[in-house]
Structure 1
Amino acid sequence: MAESETILQVENLVKHFPIRQGILFKSKVGEVKAVDGVSFELKRGETLGIVGESGCGKSTLAKLLMRLETPTAGRAKLNGRDIYKMGGSELRRLRRNVQMVMQDPYTSLNPRMTVGDIIGEPYEIHPEAAPKGDRQRRVRELLDLVGLNPEHINRYPHQFSGGQRQRIGIARALALRPEVIVCDEPVSALDVSIQAQVINLLEKLQDEFGLSYIFIAHDLSVVRHISDRVGVMYLGKIVELGTEDEIYARPTHPYTQALLSAVPVPDPEARAHREVIRLEGDVPSPANPPSGCRFRTRCWKAQEKCAVEEPLLVLRPAADPHPSACHFAEQRHVVA
């Protein structure tokens, strides 16, 4: 069970990428609003799932939390300290404390390095984390921890399967004993049977080391399995935030309901009686999002108020006591 202490606090995080035109003198003609006012808290030992369509800003959010991108506005506090104001030794400590598991296990590992060098590389960057003579033993322990043979320490990435490569990536993320791991679609490139093994490994490691996860994915069933709370993103904003039960059993935002209605159901009888919500139109461009509610151009509930007034992500007791960014939020049973 997640503890009550907040380890990561994100407040109104914004990242806009400029659009420029011209050959010699490039002028700014617009902005891509990749992340546009995201706020949430992550508790110690908790897994927060982030779901949404491709292009909604999930991966940009991950890069912001890793401080691989600098935000246009907003802040993120790790253990009470704003990560965007850190520098020098404090920034080095942040790098140790927040690690990442990449999406593609085939391109995230250097093919010219052995597994031992890949997992041990963090010790070269942060030598204080492990004495030089002790590093090979640490690497072997990490390989064993993620379910790989320590005797394979001198093998190269191409000698492993996709699932094994992702285990190597997880071992590398664990090397510095971080408190937070950002998982950017870590199982989307794997077979379904291997996905389950990797998810179970992540849960086992979380229990053993008290890790906190930001788990980004577009597969709703995977997110449901691993997450304590879930945030649903649409066009750079979180439109609904709640516990796993609140989001899946009692969704209140029309976009969440539409996503859940698209989840495959293995039971033919249940599938025949389920209502499928089909959204009209295309996803708007993040360079020119609709006024008011960003989902209104595809929403069957949209009214004049939606075009004028942007709905805030707040508690709406009339619908359900969890935050939803919809003027007309109401419960709707979609999946079991």
Structure 2
Amino acid sequence: SGCGKSTVAKTILRLDEPTEGKAYFEGRDIFAMNKKELRSLRREIQVIFQDPYSSLNPRMTVGDIVAEPWEIHRGESPKGQQRQKVQDLLHLVGLNPDHINRFPHQFSGGQRQRIGVARALALNPKVIICDEPVSALDVSVQAQVINLLESLQDELNLAYVFIAHDLSIVRHISDRVAVMYLGRIVEIGTEEEIYDKPTHPYTQALLAAVPVPNPDQAGTSRVILEGDVPSPADPPSGCTFRTRCWKVQDICAQEVPELIDRFGHGHPSRCFFADTKISESVGAPIIAEPE
């Protein structure tokens, strides 16, 4: 939490202007786009917001909410068939098309999030940024919405930028995973690489904190980090994770490690000692021993 996940999403959409760096969409530099190009980009990249309550206008009907993108991008509006198209979208996300004239307060949290999904689909985007779309929902409803997103991805050939802090949900829905710490991506890999062969010490500590439901594995030793997350306004020099890292050495305070593939397998890691195992570390981590 607070590592910059949502800021990355806003920057991709140019809702926040970057202080440095570049981002590309289909070979085009997002930050160099003029207004016309940016308008086109926002048709192709849509958002599903975290809070299904505050992201829907309570004074608008469901039909008006889902159709609102067409008011902005009039060239995409289905001529003479707008109501039918809205009903088709409601049906697509698992809602009753006859509820088109209802208001948001007449729906549950999960249903409201489905309305947000329908709105995001209205312009036939190529990419949808999902900013913690299920974190405000009950666990059972979370599973329903995740399954909906997966089925829509297969049916409509969508790409997702899925932002979340729930490691189990990330593993379930993701093909590739990026781990962030204090404003920087520290590791990128496939779902299998990140969860089965993590190389950055922060990723290793995150996964070690996940409860193990298998009683046969109860009491397994775990890595426990020392200290608190530094202030983003005054981050440590060099590697921002070094103040909590058991692999830390002098170079970690002197240089910022690059996010590079250190093993030649397409699995970049921002750590000078990504190949060092916990047992080989210079500074031993705190271990929670089984009782």
TM band (smaller chain): over 0.9
> How far apart are residue 97 of structure 1 and its match?
0.6
Match 1:328 to one of 273, 276, 291? 273
* Letter in structure 2 aligned against 1:284: P
- Partners of 1:100 and 1:131 lie apart in 2 by 21
Residue 76 (structure 1) aligned with residue 17 (structure 2):
no
Match 2:181 to one of 214, 234, 237? 234
Secondary structure of the residue that 2:128 maps to in structure 1?
Answer: strand
Greater RCO structure (CA 8 Å; 6+ sep)? 1
Gaps of 5+ in 1: 1-53
Native 8 Å contact 2:78 2:85 kept in 1: no
> How far apart are residue 275 of structure 1 and its match?
2.2
Residue 139 (structure 1) aligned with residue 86 (structure 2):
yes
- Partners of 2:160 and 2:238 lie apart in 1 by 32
- Partners of 2:61 and 2:222 lie apart in 1 by 48
* Letter in structure 1 aligned against 2:267: H
Residue 287 (structure 1) aligned with residue 233 (structure 2):
yes
1:303 maps to what in 2?
249
> How far apart are residue 55 of structure 1 and its match?
0.8
* Letter in structure 2 aligned against 1:316: R
* Letter in structure 1 aligned against 2:30: I
1:28 maps to what in 2?
none
- Partners of 2:214 and 2:28 lie apart in 1 by 49
Deviations 1:280-317 (A, max 9, x none): 11100111111111100001111111111221111122
Native 8 Å contact 1:293 1:306 kept in 2: yes
Native 8 Å contact 2:56 2:65 kept in 1: yes
Change in Cα spacing, 1:79 to 1:331, as seen in structure 2 (3 Å) is same
Native 8 Å contact 2:179 2:185 kept in 1: yes
- Cα RMSD (Å) of the superposition? 1.5
> How far apart are residue 277 of structure 1 and its match?
1.3
> How far apart are residue 321 of structure 1 and its match?
5.5
> How far apart are residue 132 of structure 1 and its match?
4.3
Query: Which structure dedicates a bigger proportion of its chain to helix?
Result: 2
- Partners of 1:245 and 1:131 lie apart in 2 by 42
Q: TM-score, normalised by structure 2?
A: 0.92
1:314 maps to what in 2?
260
- Deviating more after overlay: 308-317 vs 247-256: 308-317
Residue 118 (structure 1) aligned with residue 84 (structure 2):
no
Residue pairs, 1:11-160, within 5 angstroms = 54-160=1-107
1:172 maps to what in 2?
119
Gaps of 5+ in 2: 279-291
1:46 maps to what in 2?
none
Native 8 Å contact 1:250 1:332 kept in 2: no
- Partners of 2:277 and 2:192 lie apart in 1 by 13
> How far apart are residue 232 of structure 1 and its match?
0.4
Deviations 1:74-115 (A, max 9, x none): 121211111222223322211111100000101100111110
Secondary structure of the residue that 1:233 maps to in structure 2?
Answer: strand
Q: TM-score, normalised by structure 1?
A: 0.80
Native 8 Å contact 2:238 2:253 kept in 1: yes
Aligned length: 278
2:194 maps to what in 1?
247
> How far apart are residue 269 of structure 1 and its match?
2.7
Secondary structure of the residue that 1:154 maps to in structure 2?
Answer: coil
